[in-house]
């Protein structure tokens, strides 16, 4: 689905303040205060006074530490990007809560040109106390005209940005293939920002995760393409779930966070889902530095940066001190250059299918990003990413 627009303003003081542009989810659907397993995928927050959130996509909790979403939702930051998910009915509402993502993996056969196998799995730092959605235990038998339910945090009105409200509605199945199903409004339709969200089928009186929203027509009026989950259980989802069961859980040692004098060899050496870069643990949107005393505002810190080390709770926010003064390389307490290059664009949930001739997979070239909201080449009507 289309993504909330994010504007990055650079100040002369070498620090960056991201400002998210707000706009509403499922077209023709209704507000959804339930479906607790359906989450909003956001870029990891770095500063505790950031008032806005960069909504990327929707996702579904399928195990206590695993969220299923669409592979193209990782296109901007890649599998090695830093993410969080939000549980709740309204993105950022105090009644909900955030969880930290520590790793992400696309389906190995994902084809960005066709959206075949457009699936990705996210591992959370720690289990959450939310009941996961039911995964299929065998191949389902979706049929034409069957009613299915779609849930997402995307836009409610075509052409407007999403408000971050979770919504749901009914669609009708059209074409069925071994790996995907198309759907038509009945009367609801997935739209911008709903990418990665669940398409739920009723089986034996209960709902089962049939598919993941991937793409559709630009007007969110005619059709959507959804990737089948049952087809990916054996070779992709189940192995990841088994691997997660044996993976370290928790945030690690966040009491000793003097990273300027503490080296790392890989991300496994870093607590709180930080990245190991050039031998130091860090948030990608901040330069390398130490996380000190707890804080609530930038004014409480000598560096004027109250950084978010953990998603929430006591000690989540710490005064951040860069390892070196000045901002010649990466900016005094501000985001790293490579992060800025990726975020200086408008995030939209429905991104067009564009060729990936340049840039490594997961890191689109500048030209590709600039074309992110144009129609795809060929095809009528164009299919764009939800």
- pLDDT tens string 119-154: 999 999 999 999 999 999 999 999 999 999 999 999
pLDDT score for 173? 97
Alpha-carbon distances, residue 350 vs 72, 185, 205, 326, 353 (angstroms)? 10, 17, 33, 39, 9
CA distances from 285 to 9, 242, 279, 341, 384 (A): 14, 31, 17, 11, 29
Compute the distance between CA of residue 66 and CA of residue 82 in angstroms, rounded to an integer. Answer: 15
What pLDDT does residue 369 have?
Answer: 32
Q: Model pTM?
A: 0.81
From first to last of its 386 residues, the chain has per-residue pLDDT tens of 333 333 222 222 233 232 232 223 578 889 999 999 999 999 999 999 876 788 899 999 999 999 999 999 999 999 999 999 999 999 999 999 999 999 999 999 999 999 999 999 999 999 999 999 999 999 999 999 999 999 999 988 877 788 899 999 999 999 999 999 999 999 999 998 999 999 999 999 999 999 999 999 988 999 999 999 999 999 999 999 999 999 989 998 887 778 888 889 998 889 999 999 889 998 888 888 999 999 999 999 998 899 999 999 988 999 999 987 544 333 344 444 444 444 443 333 333 222 222 222 233 332 333 233 222 222 334 566 77
Identify the burial level of 348 via C-beta atoms within 10 angstroms of its C-beta, where 0-12 means exposed, 13-18 middle and 19 or more buried: buried
Neighbours of 248 (CB within 10 A): 8
Domain map (residue ranges) of the chain: 147-231, 259-282+289-322
CB neighbour list of residue 299: distance below 8 Å, 6 or more residues apart? none
Main-chain phi, psi angles of 230, to 5 degrees = -60, -30
Whether 151 and 38 have beta carbons less than 8 Å apart is answered as yes
Note the pLDDT tens digit of each residue in 247-283. 989 998 887 778 888 889 998 889 999 999 889 998 8
Q: Give me the pLDDT at residue 158, please.
A: 78
Q: What architecture is domain 147-231?
A: Beta Barrel (2.40)
The verdict on whether omega for the bond into residue 381 sits within 30 degrees of 0, i.e. cis, is: yes
Non-local CB neighbours of 243 within 8 Å, separated by 6+ positions: none
Q: Would you say the C-alpha torsion 160, 42, 361, 366 has a positive or negative sign?
A: positive
Residues written for the chain: 386
């Amino acid at each position: 689905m289309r993504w909330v627009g994010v504007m990055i303003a650079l100040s002369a003081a070498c620090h960056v303040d991201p400002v998210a542009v707000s706009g509403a989810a499922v077209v023709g659907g209704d507000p959804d205060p339930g479906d607790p397993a359906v989450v909003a995928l956001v870029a990891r927050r770095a500063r505790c006074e950031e008032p806005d959130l960069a909504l990327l996509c929707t996702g579904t909790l399928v195990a206590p530490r695993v969220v299923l979403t669409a592979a193209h939702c990782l296109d901007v930051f890649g599998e090695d990007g830093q993410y969080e998910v939000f549980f709740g009915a309204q993105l950022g509402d105090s009644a909900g809560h955030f969880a930290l993502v520590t790793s992400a993996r696309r389906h190995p056969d994902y084809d960005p040109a066709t959206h075949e196998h457009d699936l990705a799995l996210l591992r959370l730092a720690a289990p959450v106390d939310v009941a996961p959605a039911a995964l299929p235990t065998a191949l389902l038998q979706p049929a034409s005209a069957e009613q299915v339910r779609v849930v997402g945090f995307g836009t409610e009105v075509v052409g407007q940005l999403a408000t971050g409200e979770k919504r749901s509605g009914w669609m009708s199945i059209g074409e069925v293939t071994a790996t995907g199903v198309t759907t038509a409004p009945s009367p609801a339709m997935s739209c911008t920002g709903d990418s990665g969200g669940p398409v739920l089928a009723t089986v034996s009186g209960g709902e089962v995760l049939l598919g993941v929203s991937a793409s559709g027509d630009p007007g969110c009026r005619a059709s959507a393409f959804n990737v089948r989950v049952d087809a990916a259980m054996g070779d992709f989802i189940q192995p990841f779930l088994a691997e997660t069961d044996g993976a370290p859980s928790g945030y690690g040692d966040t009491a000793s966070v003097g990273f300027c004098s503490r080296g790392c060899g890989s991300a496994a050496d870093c607590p709180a889902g930080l990245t190991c870069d050039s031998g130091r643990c860090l948030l990608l949107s901040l330069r390398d530095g130490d996380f000190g005393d707890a804080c609530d505002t930038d004014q409480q810190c000598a560096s004027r940066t109250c950084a978010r080390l953990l998603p929430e709770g006591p000690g989540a926010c710490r005064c951040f001190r860069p390892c070196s003064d000045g901002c010649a390389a990466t900016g005094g307490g501000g985001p790293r250059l490579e992060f800025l290059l990726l975020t200086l664009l408008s995030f939209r949930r429905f991104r067009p299918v564009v060729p990936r001739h340049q840039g490594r997979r997961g890191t689109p070239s500048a030209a590709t990003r600039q074309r992110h909201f144009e129609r795809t080449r060929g095809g009528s009507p164009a299919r764009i990413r939800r």
